[in-house]
A and B are shown apart, each in its own frame.
Chain A
Amino acid sequence: MDLDLEPHHEVFRASVREIAQGVVEPLAAEVDRDHRFPVEAVEAAREAGLMGVLIPKEYGGAGLDALAFTLCIEELAQACASTAVIIDVHTSVGSEPILLFGTEEQKRQWLPRLASGELLGAFALTEPASGSDAASLKTSARRSGADYVLNGTKVFITNIGHAGVYIVFARTGADDRAAGVSAFIVPADSPGLRVGQVFKKMGLNGSPTGELVLEDVVVPAANRLAAEGKGFTVAMRALDSGRIGISGQALGIGQAAVDQSRQLLASQPRRQGDDFTLAEMATRLESARLLAYEAAWLCANKRPFTRIASMAKLHSTDTAMDLALTALQLAGEEGTIAGSPFERHMRDAKALQIYEGSNQVQRVVISRELLNTR
């Protein structure tokens, strides 16, 4: 047992921190206030090679593991949660399905452009009537010669409008549950693909979220990921490791909340009640960090990680929410003023308990694993 990070992970973390603190963090308040895509932050990440952390070197990426990816997202989220979710979704659920399930040809075609950041990735699973119950999705993909024709509406799509390519899940088979779902790589410039409503949200304001409308979008069969009917497997596997990235986001927000609380308390006369609050915050964050790193380590070392990744997502995002609320309470009224990082962290943290499988869904996953395998 050795729970220290390897030196190469520490070096990588430090390199991300430099960009996160130097470029990303100074933009965070403005990006949040103006609800604008953090172009400069994403560009800095692109230049530093952070868009292809998980993509092997042979496809133009950095070829790093899930733990490095977690550290990357953690550092970015500590600076700006919007930037972190953009890069997280791009890297994990937006690119990993091609890496894990793509043919050699698909990998050669798409991964270098995703790794370089030329294309931003996105993941289109959720629909207006199909959230936690993803297997009930209705978007259709009708086979037509060498192509499929996609119709339907996807919703709550992160990176909407900025993505160059979407991983879209649609129904190809007669089966009305998971067995009828297939996955497709759909370029954003496909005719018939358009951005619907872009939502105004309570937080993560720099990260665009909205509807993806598909009207007779023709997708070549060569863009189908995995076999027909295997799309749900692709989605679930992508979400398994996606949860590790979300845990990284939660750690970053949690760390920011702890650091800002600590600075605040250090500038005031010491009060034991506040000291105890800070001690509890730091303790919970440390437990969440270790659980997230454990999930990442298991994933990186090809061990089963579904249960621990769900636990990490559940625990770290609940912790981030709680720490953000507690930090705001410590900050008092000043923390509630728009533009204060305290109120921003609270608004940003809430999304983490909901997306990539709400925390209720994590509990379903965990209890399923407990009751089947223990």
Chain B
Amino acid sequence: MLPRISPNIGLQSNLAEPPLAAYLRSLELIAAYDQAEALPAHEYRFHGLSDRVRMLLAHHERRCDEVIAILARGGPATVWQVTQELSWSRGWSSVTGFMRRAVLAEAGAHLRHLADAGMVAVSAAEAGEPDRYASVT
């Protein structure tokens, strides 16, 4: 929990459960500690955990809306294609190296979350091809 930066919640092949759903549940638990001062691992200490939780929940809701809009506009797409279309604070061209892997995993986490919620359809990949996601609306 950081006061300004939203953490990278990324889909990884070795995770037992989809990470975004677990993360959103954890946020709701943290909100109960609103009287506590947050001692974060980066940036600075702050009060107002429930406010911060609301901001992060809204951030992920907007992100999901953005993913759905991309699929509705452009048709079925791979995680890589969706990632390129998403808005990034420093712009896609500035996201390089390890950060590019991280944002790819983040987009994958949102797509998986939406697929689990029935808001996005996943078409099974053919051999050697990546899965494709599509809007269901």
* Chain A partners chain B: no
Could you tell me which B residues sit within 8 Å of A by CB distance? none
